Amino acid sequence: MDCVFCKIVSGEIPSKKVYEDEQVIAFYDLEPQAPVHVLIVPKVHIESVLGVNETNSAVIAHVFEVAAKLAVELGVSQDGFRVVTNIGDNAGQTVKHIHFHLLGGRKLGREA
């Protein structure tokens, strides 16, 4: 499999990690769209939300637990932050491995 996030998970590609446990890894985005822009990536390969099911949905719940923890640790919990995922080409999903963007540190607009 030629998945950049799987390669980051395995350590084959380096990243600037902010968090890691048995289920997820979180690291700074290479092209940040906000002062705080972290990607939270399940270690198990799931292509998108369309691949979430009863056997792997617990890891997605864990992603949101990690997002809340990181928002506090990175100082964006008080003023607000966004957690977003893109599904498919038209939505801007460039890596076909489910991941969540944690964005904060400034007022975020209402982009479509």
Count of CA atoms in the C-beta half-sphere (13 A) of 38 = 30
Q: What is the pLDDT at residue 68?
A: 98
Question: DSSP string spanning 48-82?
Answer: SGGG--TTTHHHHHHHHHHHHHHHHHTT-TTT-EE
Give the SS3 label for residue 112.
coil
pLDDT along the chain (112 residues), means of 10: 92 96 97 96 97 96 98 96 95 95 93 56
- Structural domain boundaries in the chain: 4-104
The residue from 37, 97, 99, 101 that is catalytic is 99
Instruction: Verify whether residue 99 is a known catalytic residue.
Output: yes
pTM of the shown model: 0.94
CATH of 4-104, one of 3.40.50.720, 3.30.428.10, 3.40.640.10, 3.10.20.340: 3.30.428.10
